[in-house]
Copies of this chain bind each other. A is one copy, B any other.
Amino acid sequence: MTAAEETAREDAPWGEVTPEAARKLLVAAVAAFAERGYHATTTRDIAGRAGMSPAALYIHYKTKEELLHRISRIGHDKALEILQAADASGGTPSERLAEAVRSFVRWHAGRHDTARVVQYELDALSDEHRAEIVGLRRRSDAVVRDILDEGVETGEFDVPDVPGTTVAVLSLCIDVARWFNVAGRRTPDEVGALYADLVLRMVRAQK
């Protein structure tokens, strides 16, 4: 794969899901879960949205929960990847924290349907799958917590409660998926810039 192809694959939502039929079913499942909720959606609904038969769905996904798990896994992998990329972008703790917030907000605004499914339907996962996802969430939390710890250590941040502030920073970004409106006044980039500034204020960053 060339670098350009790699970028195109990563930019296309669910580009990592193959074959095409499996990808279409997953896109249909995200739309259905976001619109009506996981429990109100049947595999028949999902197959219908994808223009396929229920039998064709079962070739790719044995259960509805398997679809939810796939969506949740890809979404959480992406969230972790976004935070890790921001952390690896170099610069001071302030710069890396701002970049983490900007890119995390952009994802939650731009992909709000997926984010809502990923964030609100955790209880519908099997115990085993939920444990796996909780593990990924802990790793995402740790990226932000480590940046805060580092900023406190260097004296750049003033944060009395690092674990609590970590929860608040991630929560602020995640809730964008609930209220963000594509027809609203702000673009994902504008919300990201505003929130990065608010988070730097939360940690009293000395730039």
Binding site for B on A (CB under 8 A): 36-40, 119-120, 160-161, 164-165, 167-168, 171-172, 174-176, 178-179, 186, 191, 194-195, 197-198, 201-204
Bound Cα distance from A204 to B174, whole angstroms: 23
Q: A36-B39, A171-B172, A186-B164 are in contact. Are A119 and B178 (CB under 8 A)?
A: yes
Q: A40-B40, A201-B204 are in contact. Are A176 and B165 (CB under 8 A)?
A: no
Chain B residues within 8 Å of A174, by CB: 175, 178
Bound Cα distance from A178 to B118, whole angstroms: 12
Chain B residues within 8 Å of A120, by CB: 120, 178
Minimum Cβ distance to chain B for residue A187 (Å):
12
Q: A119-B178, A178-B119 are in contact. Are A165 and B40 (CB under 8 A)?
A: no
Minimum Cβ distance to chain B for residue A12 (Å):
27
Cross-chain contact B37 with A194 (CB below 8 angstroms): no
Cross-chain contact B39 with A194 (CB below 8 angstroms): no
The answer, among B38, B40, B164, B179, for a CB contact under 8 Å with A171, is: B179
Chain B residues within 8 Å of A171, by CB: 172, 175-176, 178-179
